[in-house]
Amino acid sequence: MAMFKKKKNPQEDQSSRDGFIKRLRSRLNRGDSWLTYDLTKLAPGGKIDEDVLEQLETQLVSADIGVDTTERIINGLQRRLDRKELKDIEALGASLRGALLDILKPVEQPLEIPDAPRPYVILMVGINGAGKTTTIGKLARRFLDDGLTVMLAAGDTFRAAAVEQLQVWGERNNVPVIAQKSGADPAAVIFDACEAARARGIDVLLADTAGRLQTQQGLMDELAKIKRVIGKLDPGAPHEIMLVLDASLGQNALVQAEKFHASLGITGITITKLDGTAKGGILLSIADRLKVPVRFIGVGEAAEDMQPFNAEEYVAALLAGRQDN
């Protein structure tokens, strides 16, 4: 597989990336930092013992990391404590950083667009309000900047506003949008879009779908139908099933991810609204449980507020103390 083509202005690209990292660090650490700043409070005398680990466990759970993932982290730290390896706050911080990277590094897998097939079909799924349509617009802009041609498919036919919103993104990015009247069969709309994209030699087709409540099996079945119908035109399609999750939902986002994955076999995740209340811990829980690649993360509405996921940068942002903001 070939990575996205290099941008024409790498200095501008790096500047955008640097600005994103700064915003990520700032927005994940509003108020007291949930980790580093509190470590000194947990062990004011500098001694690391089981009481410190127990308090840290509480901090991790409250940060939306979840009980199972937190236990995995704490158990690892306990083993190091038993081996006399956690002698001070610095050692605890380094060990914690390593534990977080062990969870996040395996899912740091950027989205790759191969030279074939064409179109490369990306099916976007997620519940209403997660930022799915906005993510489509941002992805379209990114692909265009990388020299790829793009088409959008308005597969959310249940809400007229959803079609209109996608058409606005199409006009903004100057890319074609395939849409039908409200209430049309979503699978038929996306199938037609696949045919149109193939006929026009389009590189990437981004297909929107209705916001799905993961508890409504009928709606999940319809997404599975879309997947089957697309596969009739191209057995390998959709080539990416990207789930868009709202980080501010905390552990409910994990429940959503598990349901979508069980029904569809998602191949990538984009996590939005990391500037919300979850403070980023939910990403660790999702990565630990599902092991699905995290493609992008977002901290705001602007196009530059969504960037490819980088584990080192993310952990550094999580562990930034309030004094660093």
In terms of residues, how long is the chain?
325
Check which CATH number belongs to the domain holding 201 and give it: 3.40.50.300
Cβ pair 53, 298 in contact under 8 A: no
Q: Please, how many CA atoms are within 13 Å of residue 298, restricted to the half-sphere of its CB?
A: 25
62 occurs within a structural domain: no
325 occurs within a structural domain: no
User: Within the chain, what is the greatest distance between any pair of CA atoms?
Assistant: 69
Distance of CA 193 to the CA centre of its chain: 25
**pLDDT score recorded for residue 161:** 85
183 occurs within a structural domain: yes
Structure tokens at 89: 């706050």
Tokens 């995740």 belong to 269
For the entire predicted model, the pTM comes to: 0.89
**Strand partners for 121:** 205
pLDDT in tens, the chain (325 residues): 334 444 445 555 666 777 777 778 777 755 455 555 567 777 777 789 999 999 899 888 888 888 999 999 999 999 999 999 998 888 998 999 999 999 999 999 999 999 999 999 999 999 988 999 999 999 999 999 999 999 999 999 887 788 899 999 999 999 999 999 888 899 999 999 999 999 999 999 999 998 866 556 777 888 999 999 999 999 999 999 999 999 888 889 999 999 999 999 999 999 998 876 556 789 999 999 999 999 999 988 888 889 999 999 999 888 865 444 3
Considering its fold, how many domains does the chain have in total? Answer: 1
**pLDDT score recorded for residue 63:** 81
Q: What DSSP assignment string belongs to 81-93?
A: HHTT---SHHHHH
Mention every residue, 6+ apart, whose C-beta is less than 8 A from residue 267.
240, 241, 242, 292, 293
SS3 131: coil
End-to-end Cα, the chain, rounded Å = 38
199 occurs within a structural domain: yes
281 lies in which domain range? Answer: 120-309
51 occurs within a structural domain: no
Cα dihedral 260, 262, 264, 269 in deg (nearest 10): 50
**pLDDT score recorded for residue 6:** 40
The residue among 237, 293, 309, 288 whose CA lies nearest residue 72 is 288
101 occurs within a structural domain: no
Structure tokens at 200: 């026009």
100 occurs within a structural domain: no
**pLDDT score recorded for residue 2:** 36
82 occurs within a structural domain: no
* Integer Cα distance of 317 and 45 in angstroms: 26
Mention every residue, 6+ apart, whose C-beta is less than 8 A from residue 192.
178, 180
The residue among 304, 313, 309 whose CA lies nearest residue 12 is 304
**pLDDT score recorded for residue 10:** 54
Give the helix/strand (H/E) hosting 180.
none
Cβ pair 192, 136 in contact under 8 A: no
**Sign, CA torsion 236/237/243/244:** positive
